[in-house]
Structure 1
Amino acid sequence: MNLKKSSVALIASALLVSSLSARDQIKIVGSSTVYPFSSSVAEEFGATTSYPTPVVESTGTGGGIKLFCASADINTPDIANASRKIKANELKMCQDNGVTDVTEALIGFDGIAIAQSSKVQSFNVTKEQLALAVAKEVPSKDGKSLIANPYKKWSDISSNLPNREIIVYGPPKSSGTRDSFEELVLQSIFEKQSVYTDLFKADEKANKKYKAYSEIRTDGAYVESGENDNLIVQRLTKNEAAIGIFGYSFLAENKDKVIGLSIDNVAPTVDTIANASYPVARSMYFYIKNQHSKDVPSLKEFTKLFVSEKMIGKDGILTEIGLIPLTDDVRTKARAKVLNSEKLTEADLKH
Structure 2
Amino acid sequence: MLKKTLALTALATVAIAGTAEARDQIRAVGSSTVYPFSTVVAENFAKSTGNKAPVIESTGTGGGFKLFCAGVGPEHPDLSNASRRIKKSELETCEKNGVKDVVEVKVGYDGIVVANSKASKQMSVTREQLFRALAKEVPVNGQWVANPYKKWSDIDASLPAQEIEVLGPPPTSGTRDAFVELVMDTACEKLPEAKALKDAGKDKDLKAKCQSIREDGAYIEAGENDNLIVQKLDANKNSFGIFGYSFMEENAEKVQGSKVDGKEPTFENIASSAYVVSRPLFVYVKKAHVGTIPGIDGFMKEFSSEKAWGDDGYLTNKGLIPMPKEERAKFAKAVAEMKTLSAGDL
Counterpart check, 1:175 vs 2:180: no
Structure 2: how far apart are the matches of 1:119 and 1:206? 42
Q: CA deviation at 1:207?
A: 4.2
8 A contact 1:30–1:58 mirrored in 2? yes
Counterpart check, 1:270 vs 2:256: no
Match of 1:58?
58
Counterpart check, 1:298 vs 2:295: yes
Task: Please point out which of 182, 201, 220 is paired with 1:223.
Answer: 220
Q: Would you identify which runs of 4 or more consecutive aligned residues in structure 1 move more than 6 Å?
A: 15-18
Match of 2:7?
none
Match of 1:341?
338
Structure 1: how far apart are the matches of 2:324 and 2:151? 41
Per-residue CA deviations over 1:99-156 (Å, capped at 9, x if unaligned) read 000000001110001100000111210111011110000001x2x2100001110100
Match of 1:246?
243
Q: CA deviation at 1:197?
A: 4.6
Structure 2: how far apart are the matches of 1:220 and 1:121? 23
Structure 1: how far apart are the matches of 2:195 and 2:261? 25
Match of 2:132?
132
Per-residue CA deviations over 1:29-58 (Å, capped at 9, x if unaligned) read 000000000000011111111210000000
Match of 1:69?
69
Superposed, 1:3-14 pairs within 5 Å as none
Residues 17 and 176 from structure 1, CA distance in 2 versus in 1: closer, same or farther, beyond 3 angstroms?
Answer: closer
Matched residue type, 2:159:
L
8 A contact 2:17–2:73 mirrored in 1? no
Bigger radius of gyration: 1
Matched residue type, 1:46:
A
Match of 2:5?
none
Q: SS of 1:47's equivalent?
A: helix
Structure 1: how far apart are the matches of 2:124 and 2:231? 22
Match of 1:150?
148
Matched residue type, 1:92:
E
User: Where in structure 1 are there 5+ consecutive unaligned residues?
Assistant: 1-14
Q: CA deviation at 1:193?
A: 2.1
TM-score, scaled relative to structure 2? 0.92
Structure 2: how far apart are the matches of 1:323 and 1:148? 38
Match of 1:113?
113
Structure 1: how far apart are the matches of 2:75 and 2:255? 39
8 A contact 1:201–1:207 mirrored in 2? no
Q: SS of 2:85's equivalent?
A: coil
8 A contact 2:124–2:262 mirrored in 1? yes
Structure 2: how far apart are the matches of 1:18 and 1:309? 32
Q: CA RMSD in A?
A: 1.7
User: Where in structure 2 are there 5+ consecutive unaligned residues?
Assistant: 1-13
Counterpart check, 1:21 vs 2:27: no
Per-residue CA deviations over 1:177-198 (Å, capped at 9, x if unaligned) read 0000000000011122231352
- Identity over aligned pairs, percent: 49
Q: SS of 1:173's equivalent?
A: coil
Structure 2: how far apart are the matches of 1:119 and 1:205? 43
Residues 199 and 329 from structure 1, CA distance in 2 versus in 1: closer, same or farther, beyond 3 angstroms?
Answer: closer
Q: SS of 1:100's equivalent?
A: coil
Structure 1: how far apart are the matches of 2:96 and 2:305? 32
Match of 2:305?
308
TM-score, scaled relative to structure 1? 0.91
Q: SS of 2:99's equivalent?
A: coil
Match of 1:317?
314
- Which piece of structure 1 moves more, 49-58 or 186-195? 186-195
Q: How many residues align?
A: 332
Q: CA deviation at 1:204?
A: 4.7
Structure 2: how far apart are the matches of 1:19 and 1:97? 20
